[in-house]
Amino acid sequence: MDPGLIWSRYVRYIGAGAVAMGGLITLVKSIPTMIESFRIGAQQLRARIGGSEESVLRTEQDLSLKVVGIGAVVVFLVLTIVPAAFSTIDIPLGRALAALLVVIFAFFFVTVSSRIVGLVGVTSNPTSGMTIATLLGTASVFLLLGWTDDAGKVAALTVGAVVAIAASIAGDTSQDLKTGFLLGATPRRQQVGEIVGVLTSAAFVALTVLLLAQAYGFGGEELPAPQATLMKLVIDGVLAQSLPWTLVAIGAAIAAAAAALRIPPLPFAVGVYLPVSTMLPVLFGGLLRLFMERRASSKEEKTARRDRGILFGSGLVGGEGLIGVAIAGAAGYAVSRGAEPWSIGTEWAGPAAEALSAVLFAGLIGYFAWLVTRRPAG
């Protein structure tokens, strides 16, 4: 049995159980944060309704609650009335139910996401856990209603996708508003910019995904999409009741044991699920950070090394994203003309391909270490 078969038959089900349990543990731990967020939000809401806009400082002026309320109602109506939103549900009442599930789950998880990012940071946002919880809840409702066919599965996935996007945008907005507060920005203008940015990026991200799907397809060697496969497993497992629950229970027990040992359960569970080829660079990156921080001579130097490393790593992620968009555009153009997507590949390196990759990876690690330890000029 080759490694790919072991992963597809055993590891991915264990990982799915671990991620589901890790997500639930994370959400349970977030309940006090949710309650406090709702309490503070209610206080601010009463203050804004009872007071006047002129009495609010410029740095605390948000979009009007009317705008927020109208926007939420418009999203609900679009999901209900426009058939393309839930294209697999024929009746408007069914689409209204799916849209209501979006509103309910998004209401809770947007609060959790924005609060956690505001207190800790965007890297602590448990989007995967919230998405899995949404899929489990939605699929359970659809199972009770008898919507267990492919139409129900697609609708459940759509609900999860919308909630995941809402939670992600909430976390991003919270991070931006936190930065804006430090710089003295006006929240209302930032929020308008967020809306424009979301509407703009939604079109280009969707086009990029469609180009990649047309050129390569998802689930193959070029685009393995492990997290998308995980979401499919969750939906199939609930609606088709086809999951090997023993393996899922093993994964859940692993995540629970990690939590008992005070290891963050959700990141640990994601590491269990994702392929080794994806997690190995993450492991080396974590070890490099640990090594660099422990060798720092003072707390200030440790902080400086961490900041430089995060800045450089963020640049690598951003550059990789831009190159990915360019590759998707080139691949989509080739497919539209009936040609195969062009790629450099590894055949030109022959037997030395793996050794060359290892050398380049080691060089990146070395450059990373040099960058975070060098002292700024002057």
Q: Is the pLDDT of residue 257 over 90?
A: yes
Helix pair angle (276-294, 299-336), 10° resolution: 160
Predicted local distance difference test score (pLDDT) of residue 205: 82
Q: What are the CA-CA distances from residue 355 to residues 277, 299, 349, 351, 359 (Å)?
A: 16, 38, 10, 8, 6
Higher model confidence: residue 275 or residue 160?
Answer: 160
With 0.75 as the threshold, say if the pTM is over it. Answer: no
Tens digit of each residue's pLDDT (9 = 90 or more) over 98-141? 999 999 888 878 877 777 777 666 666 667 777 887 888 899 89
pLDDT of residue 362: 93
| CA gap 187, 294 in Å, rounded | 39
Q: Among residues of the chain, what percentage have pLDDT more than 70?
A: 92
Asked whether the beta carbons of 72 and 103 are under 8 A apart, the reply is yes
What is the overall mean pLDDT for the chain?
A: 82
What is the model's pLDDT at position 101?
A: 93
pLDDT of residue 56: 66
Which of these, 108, 110, 86, lies nearest to 96 by C-alpha position?
Answer: 86
Say how many CA atoms lie within 13 Å of 170 toward its Cβ.
21
Domain parsing of the chain, residue ranges: 3-271, 280-373
| Cα gap 157→154, rounded to integer Å | 5
Highest mean pLDDT pick, 16-25, 43-52, 249-258, 327-336: 249-258
**Of the ranges 14-18, 260-264, 366-370, which is most confident?**
366-370
